[in-house]
Amino acid sequence: MLMTTNLIGFMAKRRAAVPATSLTQEGSATSSASTITAPATIQAGDVIFMADKAAGTVSVPATVVPTGFTSIVNTSSGITERMICSYKIADGSEASASITGMNGNSSNRKAMYVVRANKAATAVTPKSVNGQITDGNPTSQNVTASTGTPALVIFGVYGADSAAVSPRTFSTTADGEINPATNFYMAYKIYNSSPADTSIDMDDEGLGNALQSFYAEISTAP
């Protein structure tokens, strides 16, 4: 019995997820509609990160998290704006697929990044999650990635009702950013080692200033 118990414990340890050792950005997409077409490069085991901002005319758009996605942060203004970041571990069917998100009757903005680990991802752990929407100047957000376990990826998302979001602060210098319009941006930085804290910030651009940030640790099979 003791040998059997020890064997089970040993096998469980062998199957336990481990931190990814490296990450790469493998595709991106943007949209100004209620849907977004996912990159054709998606493979099973990739992680899809999606940012979605919608504006209504008289009320806040209803929360919509795409099928199979998990919400990371969902922020609303209480007036007419909502922004959601979410993720999904891909099964491969998402390649070139139409993904449905929020549908505001005033405007829609979406952005998507695909991140690939050294092995197929088995778990995603978002940390240091921040979110705010205000008609004033958003508070600077500190993503405490230095306490995280690499490999990890930091995201900052910036939005405004209609004015261009400029400047955009990403204090450790983003690896890249995408935008469907000048009033919505999604930026990222990958750390395969020695992650650093990052300040995410924007100015007061008028109405509906939205700011979200977080980092995500990605685990794989051994």
The total of other beta-carbon atoms located within 10 Å of residue 19's CB is 16
Segment holding 7, helix H or strand E: helix 2-15
pLDDT of residue 27: 98
Of 60, 53, 55, which is closest to residue 36 (Cα–Cα)? 53
pLDDT for position 15: 64
CA distances from 24 to 13, 212, 218 (A): 27, 22, 12
pLDDT digits (tens, 9 = 90+) for 98-152: 999 999 999 999 999 999 999 999 999 999 999 999 999 999 999 999 999 999 9
Q: Are 49 and 112 in contact (CB under 8 A)?
A: yes
Query: What's residue 218's pLDDT?
Result: 98
Per-residue pLDDT at 9: 45
Mean pLDDT over each residue of the chain, to the nearest integer:
94
Tell me what the mean pLDDT of segment 39-57 comes to.
Answer: 98
Question: Mind listing the pLDDT tens digit for each residue in 11-29?
Answer: 444 468 999 999 999 999 9
> Per DSSP, which regions of the chain are E strands?
18-19, 23-31, 35-37, 47-55, 70-76, 81-89, 98-100, 107-117, 121-134, 141-143, 152-159, 168-170, 176-181, 184-191, 198-202, 209-220
Which pLDDT band holds residue 83 (cuts at 50, 70, 90)? very high
Task: Identify the pLDDT of residue 84.
Answer: 98
pLDDT band of 97, cuts 50, 70, 90: very high
pLDDT tens track for 27-38: 999 999 999 999
pLDDT at 71: 98
The pLDDT score that the predictor gives to residue 1 is 47
